[in-house]
Structure 1
Amino acid sequence: MHSPETPFDHFLIKLRTAEGCRVVARFAQEVPAPAEQRLRLLRLGLAGQTLYEIDEQELERGGLSFTIDTVRDYGRRFPQAQLCYLIGADHVATLPAWRESEELARLVELVVIPRPGQPSTPLPPPFRGRELTGFPLGVSSSQIRSRIKRGLSIQGLVPDAVAEAIRNSKLYL
């Protein structure tokens, strides 16, 4: 199983950390697989983990879902929590174009996941946050999907149960 710091780019995850941050992971704009199948993969990937809790609110909300809406909901549900938002370094430059980006910047602290071989990207104002150090995530979810599409192995990149479910469901081909 992957380290507890592994970000999942397509689902919201509530993480209980020593710092008390509520972590919100970004939904991709592309829809690589139906939500129900992605939820099943997430459940398989987190089986036996106690640090994570899956929050299905964006699936239950239906229709288009925006990060700012989810962050506001977390702010209401956890008013004393510092909200942290996981984002891959490759997405930092897009932040100013996000819906209500200035409000998002006010409500969350970013936790930037570095990508190997890419230089650190400064956060655009008014965003604040930090880079997750000591955790070079060598592959992104889009790279995993690309490997599957090309018939390459994803062994070691995802939990075995997830790889098996992807293979059996013929996802991402």
Structure 2
Amino acid sequence: MKKVGILGGTFDPLHIGHFIMADQSLFYGGLDEIWFMPAHIPPHKLGRKITPVHHRIEMVKRAIENEPQFRLCTIELERDGPSYTLDTVKELNSRYPNISFSFIIGGDMIEYLPNWYRIEELLSLIQFIGLVRPGYSLDNLTSKEKQIIKHVKMIPMPQLEISSTLIRQWVKEGRPLRHVVPNPVEQYIKENHLYED
């Protein structure tokens, strides 16, 4: 059975941190492929201005076109309203019964996981992979949170202080994006004047 890791995100824009997460998950998670899944309206980002979805899809497409183990998955964009992971996982399992899926989350989301929509049901449907940064500790969790976190396969993630928020700020400041986003993404941002205002 093929093992696929789902890396969801706004990808506004996709950057090298996402690629490192994908590579770490492939190696330590024993996965065959990573599917990059842009979110339509992430529940935790309601009210924030998000770049139109066609731009975010195109940036992902261009970034991964020469990466044979990376694919674009637009399943969350087929629904209206907020994207709940539970609905997405049910749809993935229904469409691809011969694939074993894992859902990849960054260290900043691990602590928040107990607050996810219907998390107990979600944990029964999919394996979670959590990328833990050096020095990151889960010692201060409640016993309920620890029960949920023990279902997450923890893998190491190098420390990297790069975020989509920071990259958008750099564009406003006119700073170069060389080495923080894939070259095709940097070119697309310039061509389409994204994040300039």
User: Do they fold alike, i.e. is TM over 0.5?
Assistant: yes
Is the contact made by 1:8 and 1:25 (CA closer than 8 Å) also made in structure 2? yes
Which consecutive aligned stretches of 4+ in structure 1 deviate over 6 angstroms post-superposition?
none
**Larger Rg: 1 or 2?**
2
- Return 5+ residue gaps in structure 1 as ranges: none
- Report the counterpart of residue 153 of structure 2 in structure 1: 130
Residue 146 (structure 2) pairs with residue 146 (structure 1):
no
Deviation at 1:167, TM superposition (A): 1.9
Is the contact made by 1:83 and 1:108 (CA closer than 8 Å) also made in structure 2? yes
Is the contact made by 1:23 and 1:86 (CA closer than 8 Å) also made in structure 2? no
- Report the counterpart of residue 189 of structure 2 in structure 1: 166
Secondary structure of the corresponding residue to residue 154 of structure 1: coil
TM-score by length of 2: 0.68
- Assess, with a 3 A threshold, how the Cα gap between structure 1 residues 126 and 21 changes in structure 2: closer, same or farther: farther
- Assess, with a 3 A threshold, how the Cα gap between structure 1 residues 136 and 31 changes in structure 2: closer, same or farther: farther
Residue 179 (structure 2) pairs with residue 156 (structure 1):
yes
Give the Cα separation in 1 of the matches to 2:54 and 2:67.
Answer: 20
Is the contact made by 2:37 and 2:75 (CA closer than 8 Å) also made in structure 1? no
AA of the residue aligned to 2:158: P
- Assess, with a 3 A threshold, how the Cα gap between structure 1 residues 164 and 115 changes in structure 2: closer, same or farther: farther
- Report the counterpart of residue 110 of structure 1 in structure 2: 128
- Assess, with a 3 A threshold, how the Cα gap between structure 1 residues 66 and 80 changes in structure 2: closer, same or farther: same
- Report the counterpart of residue 53 of structure 1 in structure 2: 71
Structure holding more helix per residue: 2
AA of the residue aligned to 1:148: V
Is the contact made by 2:84 and 2:117 (CA closer than 8 Å) also made in structure 1? yes
TM-score by length of 1: 0.76
Deviation at 1:49, TM superposition (A): 1.7
- Report the counterpart of residue 136 of structure 2 in structure 1: 119
Higher relative contact order (CA 8 A, sep 6+): 2
- Identity level (%): 26
Is the contact made by 2:130 and 2:154 (CA closer than 8 Å) also made in structure 1? yes
- Report the counterpart of residue 9 of structure 2 in structure 1: 9
Residue 89 (structure 2) pairs with residue 66 (structure 1):
no
- Return 5+ residue gaps in structure 2 as ranges: 12-21
Is the contact made by 1:9 and 1:25 (CA closer than 8 Å) also made in structure 2? yes
Is the contact made by 1:9 and 1:141 (CA closer than 8 Å) also made in structure 2? no
